[in-house]
Amino acid sequence: MSGQMPQRAVDSQATQLAKMLLDDVAVKFFRDPTGTAYARFPTDHRREVAPIGSTVFRQWAAARFYALAGAVLSETAQRAALGVIEAEARQHGDVQSVFVRVGRVGYEVETIYIDLADESGHVVEVTAFGWRTLANPDTPLFLRPPGLHPLPIPVPGGRLGELLHPFVNVAEPEHLHMISFWMLAALCPQGPYPVLVLTGEQGSGKSNTARLLASLVDPRSPELLAGPLDARDLMVVARHSWVLAFDNLSRIEPWLLDAFCRLSTGGGFVTRRLFTDADEMRFDAMRPMILTGITDIVTRGDLLDRALIIRLPPIPEDRRRAESEFWREFEGCRPRILGALLDALALALGRLPHLQAPALPRMADFARFSLAAAPSLGLSEREALGILGSAREEAVAVTLEYSPLVATVEALANGQEPWVGTATDLLAKLRARTPDEERGRDFPATPRAISEHLRRIAPALRASGIDVTTGTRVGHKRSRLITIRRVTSSDTPQQGGS
């Protein structure tokens, strides 16, 4: 057919490209722990890392072929050659981890690397002894997906709170410290990571605050995201971003709450690579997240356990600034804020191995790291622990406020003797106390739903002095007995873990 390259020419080009790239000592092919095949290749200013099948690498390979062979590469030949190279990388390539924005070498976290993603490939190395800027180091390997923006070259010597305060609208000083703890944790390559939840009425600066904080750790476009349509959509975003900032959420569906929990403290997503093939795409990682909304968008206990809730006050008219002026001032200060973050991060790394931490709350690793960073924020460890405790109290209060079951459980716990019954019995008590018109979409309408809801709010109930336990199955229906009783603080065990 006229205009179609003969098959022999296609095969010749494919063989020539595959041999050219596999023999090129400047190009390295490898696979990550999930089996995805990557290429590391030189550009004019830095070395790039990209999946072999990505547009970035395909375009680079086509340009390389033209420069060396003096011919235009056909799409069919390129597809065949890259298929061979991808198979070689998967079967014989070294296994190496690939990071977005924040990484490490091996499994140690004593040294943290932060990709500035500028044209020269600068990376910041942070240790317990301080930090320095490196030009295009060999390790670790950083992926720079489309939309990734550069961080500025950091400038040392500032105090984080003083630099950050003019740009963040908070009602209490402790809220600024919570935000600082979140940012420091977000610069660590290993979680768990708390979810920063910014709420407040219109005009409180929620979106600007989320945009600003994300730009200090992982600037990219789009800066703020809408809620994902499904778990696959969330997984794709998370694979190509470090900080996920979801703006103006009105409600978080149960599946998305579960997905946020997995991204916060660890958990995998598995789906098909394409809707038409049988290959799996695996993603198992943790990500720092920011959520914004006018109302309390996080009301379920399992995500609240992982949340830092900041309620932003309305900005008075006499304190409002023009957007252009605000961002111009912030951009001028951003290198110093990043330098102050790195100073605090290095101090925390130095203190962490020797920290004698007391009993820690939920998200214990994050709490311990925050205590290690406390002196850099002008706080004592006791003060930092108090701030984390107040965050926990706020989460407990929101959990109990939005649970349709709490009033019934509290009434049963206030009896002279512990209440003992099945989920069916508890459902009957709840229905008797709740008129039909007050039963919203979250009302647990079945015994199973009662049991699941009770498990989710049990930590918050325990923190408020009510213990709920589930015993062995009884009766011919093999129903589990639930015991509800009031306890004192001395009866309540301390909870750690992630």
Rounded to whole angstroms, what are the CA distances from 226 to 134, 186, 234? 35, 21, 10
Tell me what pLDDT residue 208 has: 92
Q: Residue 36 corresponds to which amino acid? A: T
Q: What is the Cα–Cα distance from 342 to 202, expressed in whole angstroms?
A: 33
H-helix or E-strand spanning residue 338: helix 323-351
Pick the CATH number of 403-491 from 1.10.287, 3.30.420, 3.90.1150, 2.40.128: 3.90.1150
Query: What's residue 2's pLDDT?
Result: 43
User: Quick one: pLDDT at residue 401?
Assistant: 82
DSSP E strand boundaries for 312-460: 419-421
**pLDDT on residue 357:** 73
Q: What is the pLDDT of residue 38?
A: 95
DSSP 475: T
φ, ψ of residue 421 in degrees (nearest 5): -170, 180
Between CA 413 and CA 415 the distance in angstroms is 5
Please give the angle made by the CA atoms of 184, 186 and 192, to the nearest 5 degrees. 110
Q: 185 with 286: CB under 8 angstroms?
A: no
Of 308, 284, 101, residue with least CA distance to 209: 308
CATH code given to domain 160-399: 3.40.50.300
Per the CB < 8 A criterion, the answer to whether 78 and 98 are in contact is: no
Supply the pLDDT for residue 291. 94
For the chain, domain boundaries = 7-96, 160-399, 403-491
With a cut of 70, list the residues of the chain below it in pLDDT.
1-10, 106-109, 268-283, 471-478, 489-498
Q: What is the pLDDT of residue 4?
A: 58
Residue with tokens 């959420």: 249
Residue 281: its pLDDT value, please? 60
- Mind giving me the DSSP string for 293-309? ESS----SHHHHTTEEE
Report the C-alpha gap between 3 and 272 in whole angstroms: 36
